[in-house]
Amino acid sequence: MFRFYSNPMQSNRVSVVGQYDNNILSIAVARCSNKDNFIRKKGRMIAEGRLRKGKVFLVRNMVTCSSSDFVNIAKEIIKDVETGELNTKLYK
């Protein structure tokens, strides 16, 4: 399982969790509310729970998936959360 967290300097802290199995990368995301303190463990638990329940944010077919591939995808997702483009983008 892959895990990635947004930069502490970002206003919207995000936890991204991914699982690669049978050439499919599934990603779930948890975003911290502006009113809450970011707790890495809690964000990870929420994102992992969503992944287990099938509430995935992104599903991508990939021949291979290295940790650097996951990090690059996670950074794009976090960037879109930060800029507010999340609702207008389709991740496939």
Rounded Cα gap, residues 40 and 79, in angstroms: 18
The predicted model scores a pTM of 0.83
Domain boundaries, the chain: 2-87
Burial class (CB in 10 A: 0-12, 13-18, 19+), 78: buried
% of residues, the chain, pLDDT over 70: 90
pLDDT digits (tens, 9 = 90+) for 41-67: 999 999 999 999 999 988 999 999 999
Of 88 and 11, more confident: 11
